[in-house]
Chain A
Amino acid sequence: VSEPLGTVNEPASRAVVVGGSLAGVTAVDALRCRGFDGHITLIGDEPYGAYSRPPLSKGVLAGLEPADSVMLPPPPAGVDVRVRTRAAGLDLQRRVVRLADGEEVPYDRLVIATGARARTLGGPAPATVLRDLDDALALRDRLRDATDVLILGGGFLGMEIASTAVRLGLSVTVVDLRLPLVGVLGPWLAGIFTHAARRAGVRIVVSPGGARPLEAGTVELRDGTRLSADVVVTAVGDRPNVEWLAGSGLALRGGVVVDARCRVSPEIVAAGDVAAFPDGGRLRRMPHWDAAMAQAKAAADALLLGEAAAAYRPEPYYWTDAFGLAVKIAGPLPVEGPPTSVEGSLEQGSALLRWDRDPQATAVAVNYHLSVAKLRRLTARAATA
């Protein structure tokens, strides 16, 4: 993976981007902004063009924002956008993407941005998940007629769904292996969410042995306890969409394996939830909004510049909005112990907090308007309050 891949020599005239969501659309924009003037085809399997996913678990799920409010402006003029189109295979020798209907789309440069889908826990009934717009609209309609909801998974998504359901007046239970968010955020920061959730009436059930979905509406915890609700939502992470690449010869180990420049080969890159990066001897996906955007830009650079492109440097940035806590986070997670306050306080309802550590601090804005760039600046080692 550390071997330089070199640069393709012949001029590129046809770029194909597989995956029509954030990473795919960003890659298209980045190719155009960096001067690529060849033909671009953007292939996505959803019935819609690109849309913004963060509101799906919030305003859209609550019924406050209509579906069309999340649609993003269509890609630049001249880009051939294919919706409802599923890629089914890749032929590296002939340089074609094979579509589900058998059509072949030739490429000189290929961006793999097929994202991920919701992970589920099995069981006899199909799981209810929230991943795409249709999921959100279907769950919105079901919550409208429900009195209680059980959410499996207390991560960002699970807690956002819980928060929305509470606002809709439902009785809400969240089940996880540990206290919600504690693994990703650390105990102090996770604690402000669990505190707010409980205050809002959410029942939090910690089941270290996990939970097993039974018939629709019922789950069984490891200790035999059974929980039931009108709706059971599974929010236990994601799995990369790599099946269409099976047999292609690409390295698929927990995602499409790329190098530090998002490259699979000189003419193929991957970005977003599907891409697995080398990280200290392991491979790591970074299925988050900001990472998808940054990777797509780095990937486009690498396609056009080869070795001369800058390597992708992860700059962790996350946000969530649940139980009245709009939280933006820059810097490494999880954080340990209490933060120092840069400004405000949680008691006052708005705070800018920092955990100082080497080589990079973690800065967190709670109900505090601060741009991504400014929050990141607070994570510099020398930053002072």
Chain B
Amino acid sequence: MRVAVDAGRCDGFGYCEQQAPEVFRLDDDGVVVVLLADVPAEFADRAEAATRACPVAALKVDP
């Protein structure tokens, strides 16, 4: 599974980081960075959940 971010939409809430800190992190400007675009299977459930926990729908998933 791959995840992608639309940084232009990101509003810096950080729900994704709370849900899957191995995969998403907010940078110093409070904008999300994807740490593991190719998500290892062990984090897949939580990373996928994180994409649905974005208040502004800034995260996408490719199966």
Contacts and interface: CB of A to CB of B under 8 A. Distances in A.
Contacts of B48: 29, 73, 76
A371 B57 contact: no
Contacts of A50: 52
Interface string B7-40: 0010111110110000000100111000000000
Contacts of B15: 293, 372
A95 B61 CA distance: 35
Nearest to B17: A371
Interface residues of B, number: 27
Contacts, number: 70
Contacts of A75: 52
Given A26-B52, A33-B49, A72-B52, A373 B57 contact: no
B51 A372 contact: no
A293 B53 contact: yes
A51 to B, nearest CB: 7
Interface residues of A, number: 30
A26 to B, nearest CB: 7
Given A51-B57, A73-B61, A371 B52 contact: no
Interface string A49-62: 01110110000000
Contacts of B14: 371-374
B26 A72 contact: no
Contact of A372 (B18, B52, B56): B18
Contacts of A326: 11
A55 B10 CA distance: 12
Contacts of A72: 51-52, 54, 57
B51 to A, nearest CB: 5
A25 interface: yes
B12 A76 contact: no
Contacts of B51: 72-73
A32 B46 CA distance: 9
B63 A77 contact: yes
A251 B60 CA distance: 39
Nearest to B6: A69
A374 to B, nearest CB: 8
A352 to B, nearest CB: 12
A244 interface: no
Given A76-B45, A370-B12, A371-B26, A26 B53 contact: yes
B11 to A, nearest CB: 8
Interface in A221-254: none
Interface in A2-58: 25-26, 29-30, 32-33, 50-52, 54-55
Nearest to B49: A29
Contact of A69 (B12, B55, B57, B63): B57
Interface of B: 9, 11-15, 17-18, 26, 29-31, 45-46, 48-49, 51-57, 59-61, 63
18 contacts: A26-B49, A29-B52, A32-B49, A33-B46, A52-B54, A55-B56, A70-B57, A72-B57, A73-B52, A319-B13, A326-B11, A369-B30, A369-B31, A370-B12, A370-B30, A371-B12, A371-B14, A372-B14
